[in-house]
Amino acid sequence: MSQGFESTDNTLQADGVALARIAAVCGTPCYVYSSGQLDRNVERLKTALRRALPASNQPLIAFACKANSNLGVLNHLAGLGLGADVVSGGELVRAQAAGIDPARIVFSGVGKSDEDIEYAIRAHVAQINIESAPELERVVAIAQQLGITARVAFRLNPDVDAQTHAKITTGKEDNKFGLPAEVITPLYRQAAHTSFIDVQGLSVHIGSQLTTLAPFREAFSKIASFARQLAAEGLPLRSLDLGGGLGIVYDREQAPCLDGYAELIRELISPLGVKIILEPGRLLVGDAGLLLARVTYIKKTKTRQYMVLDAGMNDLVRPALYEAWHEIRPVVDSAAPPEMYDVVGPVCETGDTFARDRALPPLLAGDLLAIMNAGAYGFAMASRYNTRPLPAEVMTRNGHFRVIRHRENIRDILEEEAIPAW
């Protein structure tokens, strides 16, 4: 049985399931996730780590839920032995509902509310990554009030340029995330001597969609050096959370070398003898998902030819938000000479554009297209803009598919609202 997305008999399939069959049952737009590709991506990362690191110190792989938080996806990854990195109370609830042990959950994020912190402490998560002095005060106060020990780590801002899109870089000095070493040091000392606080170590995360290893080397070197300084003071140091950020190939990027990444961890982090935590997101789910859409109209003007889809920027916002490039494939292969199209959605925004001047075979209204590599930050960032119901989500496996989120309808949206009686 084929795994991932492949063309068979000139028709694009997911784990042996024809996408046309999914569209006929579930409608479009619709997100489709290949469990076979998820398996393959997790195994690639684990294999690289096994080659580089001893069996006694294999990292906790805490999947970054923000990339794709569907319960079906999280449960599948939990079955592969993964934990979770969450950045909200809602994601923590999702991770637990999907069957992930809170002891394998890391709570990150720069703006945790009191409710978030209380829930994390009550759940006994692996660690709460502290991002500011006021946040530490909140965690201490809530832990003492509850009488429950909170495990914490401190997020280092290493001032490293991740060489990625400005909106997804998180490790520069002028980014809102983390703290410099000189600020963490006194907070770390304070926390190490505070009741109901158990200091675990440090965390770092410099950005998303990194395809070269140089920024990781710089960040890992800085966190390792800082960790040695803390340990030399006799302060507790049990874990280093190295974040995520490994990218995928959307267009012509060079895929990051997982063996090289694992070797960096072996060289720079493993000698410290601490528990290692990784937070991959996009790497595991990005190419395991696509957005299935149908052509609504072909519109020609004097200067452009538009392919108008039934999917819009509310369904997949990455092209509008990040100028992101996604491969667009007809579900049925065609040998016809390509034409140039602007591929757009129905949303009332010029920014509702998936691609400009894209070469595609001639298509007609009703034909199906797949927007590839949409498994990360696709549905997770979807909205109801223009009162457009959220799409369905489907998972495939070994020739079968299951709906893991039902398509919304207008009634679902209206039932959440009310007209005031006055």
List pLDDT tens digits, range 276-299: 999 999 999 999 999 999 999 999
The answer to whether position 222 is within a domain reads yes
Q: Which long-range contacts (CB under 8 A, 24 or more apart) does 101-109 make?
A: 102/126, 104/60, 104/62, 105/62, 106/62, 106/203, 106/241, 106/277, 106/279, 108/155, 108/203, 108/205, 108/279
The answer to whether position 203 is within a domain reads yes
The answer to whether position 389 is within a domain reads yes
pLDDT digits (tens, 9 = 90+) for 110-167: 989 999 999 999 999 999 999 999 999 999 999 999 999 999 999 999 877 545 545 4
| Same domain as 191, residue 70 | yes
Write down the pLDDT at residue 99: 97
Q: What are the catalytic residues?
A: 348
CATH number for the domain spanning 296: value is 2.40.37.10
Of 283, 303, 335, the one marking the end of a domain is 283
**What's the half-sphere exposure (Cβ side, CA atoms, 13 Å) at 366?**
1
The answer to whether position 239 is within a domain reads yes
| Same domain as 142, residue 107 | yes
Name the pairing type of β-strands 60-64 and 83-86: parallel
| Same domain as 136, residue 267 | yes
Total domains in the fold of the chain: 2
At a CB cut-off of 8 Å and minimum separation 6, what does 350 contact?
none
Helices (H) and strands (E) in the chain, counts: 12, 20
Write down the pLDDT at residue 167: 47
| Same domain as 49, residue 30 | no
Per-position b or e across 264-286, b if 16+ CB within 10 A of its CB: bbbebbbebebbbbbbbbbbbbb
Segments forming the whole domain that contains residue 22: 5-34+286-414
Q: Are 377 and 321 in contact (CB under 8 A)?
A: no
| Same domain as 254, residue 105 | yes
Write down the pLDDT at residue 91: 97
Per-residue pLDDT for 238 more than 50? yes
* Portion of the chain with pLDDT greater than 70, in percent: 95
In angstroms, the CA 374 to CA 32 distance is: 9
Q: Are 201 and 274 in contact (CB under 8 A)?
A: yes
Element holding 31 (H helix, E strand): strand 30-34
Handedness of CA 239, 204, 188, 228 (dihedral sign): positive
| Same domain as 113, residue 204 | yes
Inter-helix orientation angle 214-232/181-192, to 10°: 40
| Same domain as 190, residue 277 | yes
The answer to whether position 388 is within a domain reads yes
* Portion of the chain with pLDDT greater than 90, in percent: 90
The answer to whether position 422 is within a domain reads no
Per-residue pLDDT for 270 more than 80? yes
Phi and psi at 275, nearest 5°, equal -65, 135
Average the pLDDT over 229-240 and give the result.
Answer: 96
| Same domain as 342, residue 268 | no
CATH number for the domain spanning 146: value is 3.20.20.10
| Same domain as 254, residue 295 | no
| Same domain as 152, residue 279 | yes
At a CB cut-off of 8 Å and minimum separation 6, what does 70 contact?
33, 379, 393, 404, 405
In angstroms, the CA 148 to CA 256 distance is: 41
Average the pLDDT over 44-51 and give the result.
Answer: 98
Of 283, 304, 334, the one marking the end of a domain is 283
Of 283, 311, 330, the one marking the end of a domain is 283
Confidence of residue 335 (pLDDT cuts 50, 70, 90): confident
pLDDT digits (tens, 9 = 90+) for 72-94: 999 999 999 999 999 999 999 99
In angstroms, the CA 254 to CA 266 distance is: 23
Inter-helix orientation angle 133-146/181-192, to 10°: 20
Q: What is the mean pLDDT of the chain?
A: 94
Phi and psi at 174, nearest 5°, equal -95, 10
From 1-5, 94-98, 129-133, 372-376, the region with the lowest mean pLDDT:
1-5
| Same domain as 179, residue 39 | yes
Which amino acid makes up residue 283?
L
| Same domain as 90, residue 24 | no
Per-residue pLDDT for 39 more than 50? yes
- What stretches of 345-414 adopt beta strand conformation (E)? 353-360, 368-371, 392-397, 400-405
The single-letter DSSP state of residue 200 is: E
Handedness of CA 62, 68, 69, 71 (dihedral sign): negative
